[in-house]
Structure 1
Amino acid sequence: MTHMPPPLSPAVAVVTGTRPEIIKMAPVVHGLQAAGIRVELIHTGQHEEMAWPIYDFFGLTPQHVIQLERNELGLPGLAAQLQTRLAQTLHCLRPAATLVHGDTSSAAMAALAAAFSQIPVGHVEAGLRSHRIDEPFPEEINRSLIGRVARWHFAPTDRARDNLLREHVPGEIAVVGNTVVDAVHYAAAQVRGRAQQGPAMAWWQRSGLTQLVVVTAHRRENWGAPLQDILAAVQALLQRQPLLGVVWPVHLNPVVRDAVQAAHRQAPPDVQRRWHLCQPMDYPEMVELMDASTLLLTDSGGIQEEGLSLGKPILVMREVTERPEVIDCGMGQLVGTDPARIAQACDALLNTPRSLATPPSNPFGDGTTGQQIARLMHHALFATA
């Protein structure tokens, strides 16, 4: 067996590639840089079209860009490409540590590639668990895998820490909050009161409607019949609520996009008029829209956190969530994908908007998570004995 040389560079490699990863790792990169730590930012290209405006918004420029070949279909092909390319990049850089975020294929394959090269791994947003391998898929697999190879586990909440303790993961665990709070507070401060608005927000302001529901749906476990149920629920909701507008940023995956567009085309004219479909938005535009919404209807993990940080009621179109703090603090409800269940919960909130109260404090932290992670990494890597 070939022994890999130890890391030599004083730099920290930060791996991002999907839209949520870039958003949530931006505060970490800024924190590391402010602490005097050199960052080698690696972009994996999973969300190529959406990535670069987000990098620009947060003032980041990846030094390393991996070009994925999209002719490889499916998760195995994606995982193989990512691990091979990331292993090559990390072998050349030999950083003091590699930081990954969350539960994407980028994160899991970067963690494996670093571990195989004997480069210590830090896991940001560690310890989230649904305790179901099939939901969300493949995210539950990815984050559990990272937990087995990470040296530093940056848990967002006490519950996440407890999950890691029960699993007896190796390494050190620190509860630091969630970087999404840092990012959404920064973005909200940028967009509130600005003169120029995104197209979806401009549509909403021209509509003359009084209540806004923002919908996102893209989880693999919701493809097929569950997505059709979600579409039926949205149409029924619009038919019952004549002053309601719905904005749905449609995921680019054709499985999702084609189904949503077909349902919209087949809807009655009055429903179509109040149901606005759009492309996935730049991050500041999405924050602007969520900030104006009455409630959020989503199967996204990140939007559960962002919506809570903006004080918005959230209906989660899943049967389980690895972010139970959203439910426990009173800001969210699990509604699954049954049309009647979704409609009933939406009606209750639209008719009594404050039936979900804003919690006195955010269970995901105070907006200093990036700074906390940077301090811990500086101490771990550079503090003298």
Structure 2
Amino acid sequence: MFLRKMSNTEIGLYPLSYKRGKAMPDKIKAMFFFGTRPEAIKMAPIIKKIEEGNSGIEPRVVVTAQHRQMLDQVLDTFDIEVDYDLNIMRSNQSLSDITERAVQGFEKVIREEDPHMILVQGDTTTAFVGGLVANYHKIPVGHVEAGLRSFDKFNPFPEEINRKLISVLTD
């Protein structure tokens, strides 16, 4: 995907497939997929900027609520409307359980919405799943940021593994 400056006040993000002669849709449907407070804080300014102007982008917000209470506080503070809340957290879950629930939930949302691009942020299981499921559907993935790298896949765990995997999955 690439960034194209449209004017002094507008930006447009277009998946690479539209560079190859395909008809440009009236609006690009960009899906923001996150689940924690830090992810929401980083995504909020991007979502708000898209909502305020004529960017040619139609945002969709999908949350997993990996950190329910802290996430909801940020969403309220920035007045971000959630389109889909997967509410994946249960007590005593393993990372595999979290991954499974997130994959199943996000799969349903992607099939229903058919987005042009997915944006993820961070180094969480939510960000990894967003990139993975988007790739299964051949949807371009943008990764906002993942933090400092340790180059030791088990420190911090699972964050460093997620960072490595996300970097392979993003465009």
1:29 maps to 2:47: yes
Counterpart among 89, 99, 102 of residue 82 in structure 1 = 102
Aligned partners of 1:45 and 1:66 also within 8 Å:
yes
Work out the number of aligned pairs and report it. Answer: 146
State the alpha-carbon separation in 1 of the partners of residues 89 and 33 from structure 2.
Answer: 18
Question: TM-score, structure 1 length as denominator?
Answer: 0.36
Residues 201-259 of structure 1, C-alpha deviations (whole Å, 9 max, x = no match):
xxxxxxxxxxxxxxxxxxxxxxxxxxxxxxxxxxxxxxxxxxxxxxxxxxxxxxxxxxx
Q: Give 1:128 deviation, angstroms.
A: 3.7
Q: Give 1:32 deviation, angstroms.
A: 2.4
Counterpart among 29, 32, 36 of residue 14 in structure 1 = 32
Counterpart among 143, 150, 163 of residue 130 in structure 1 = 150
State the alpha-carbon separation in 1 of the partners of residues 105 and 56 from structure 2.
Answer: 28
- The amino acid that maps onto 1:30 is K
Larger radius of gyration: 1
Aligned partners of 1:126 and 1:147 also within 8 Å:
no
Distance 1:47 1:127, change over 3 A: closer
1:58 maps to 2:78: yes
Aligned partners of 1:55 and 1:61 also within 8 Å:
yes
State the alpha-carbon separation in 2 of the partners of residues 95 and 73 from structure 1.
Answer: 29
Residues 64-112 of structure 1, C-alpha deviations (whole Å, 9 max, x = no match):
1112251562111111111111111112111110000010011001110
Residues 307-359 of structure 1, C-alpha deviations (whole Å, 9 max, x = no match):
xxxxxxxxxxxxxxxxxxxxxxxxxxxxxxxxxxxxxxxxxxxxxxxxxxxxx
Unaligned runs of 5+ in 1: 1-5, 152-385
Counterpart among 103, 115, 127 of residue 95 in structure 1 = 115
- Residue 45 (structure 1) aligns with: 65
Residues 132-190 of structure 1, C-alpha deviations (whole Å, 9 max, x = no match):
11111100011110111111xxxxxxxxxxxxxxxxxxxxxxxxxxxxxxxxxxxxxxx
State the alpha-carbon separation in 2 of the partners of residues 30 and 149 from structure 1.
Answer: 25
Aligned partners of 2:66 and 2:89 also within 8 Å:
no
Structure 2 residue matching 1:76: 3-state secondary structure: helix
Aligned partners of 2:32 and 2:118 also within 8 Å:
yes
Q: Which has the higher contact order (CA 8 A, sep 6+)?
A: 2
Counterpart among 93, 102, 109 of residue 73 in structure 1 = 93
Structure 1 residue matching 2:88: 3-state secondary structure: coil
- The amino acid that maps onto 1:63 is D
| 1:219-368 mapped onto 2 (5 Å cutoff) | none
Structure 1 residue runs of 4 or more that deviate by more than 6 Å after TM superposition: none
Identity of aligned residues (%): 35
